[in-house]
Amino acid sequence: MTEQPKAGEYDPNAVRKSMSVKAPIEIAWRVFTEKMGTWWPLAHYKIGKANAVDAVLEPRVGGRWYERGEDGSTCDWGRVRVWEPNSRLVLTWDIDANWQFDPKLNTEIEVRFIADGKDATRVELEHRRLDRYGENRDKMRRVFDTEGDWGKLLEMFAKAAAA
């Protein structure tokens, strides 16, 4: 088994995020899985030609993960690999570097829900196997994370400040 990089350490093949949500774990799970269309930034992050109006996760292993357009069309994003209610979710993310569905891409997203008392939930997300993007890996990692843009910002800022 390969050694897992520690949190906060740079991993070229994965992006890790975590946050605390002021909601009981059941609600956090439900909003994430059943009500994705209410919060997913569909205006920015969708792949179909039609305006997307919903993001849907079929609640079972092997279920589809897709967006629904206002014209009723659907575009797949990935599949459900692990479905453990109120605890853990693993999805494939099969959207390639050109924002097109590629069922063979299979990058993986794991979301863990950890109760923090009865009114709060720690949500940890890992988007891994970014090596599946091949030569586009670093570019896509920057899209998913922020680091690249921060680096670029600081660099440009230093230039502007020095001018």
DSSP string, 117-153: SSS-EEEEEEEE-GGGGGGGHHHHHHHHSSHHHHHHH
Residue 35 Cβ vs another protein, minimum distance, rounded to whole Å: 7
Residue 1 Cβ vs another protein, minimum distance, rounded to whole Å: 26
Residue 134 Cβ vs another protein, minimum distance, rounded to whole Å: 19
Q: Which residue, 34 or 71, has its beta carbon nearer to another protein?
A: 34
Which residue pairs from 27-31 have beta carbons closer than 8 angstroms and sit at least 24 positions apart in sequence? 27/121, 28/113, 28/121, 28/123, 29/85, 29/86, 29/87, 29/113
Site residues, another protein (CB under 8 A):
15, 17, 19, 21-24, 27-28, 30-32, 35, 38-41, 44-45, 119, 121, 123, 125, 127, 142-147, 149-150, 153, 156-157, 159-161, 163
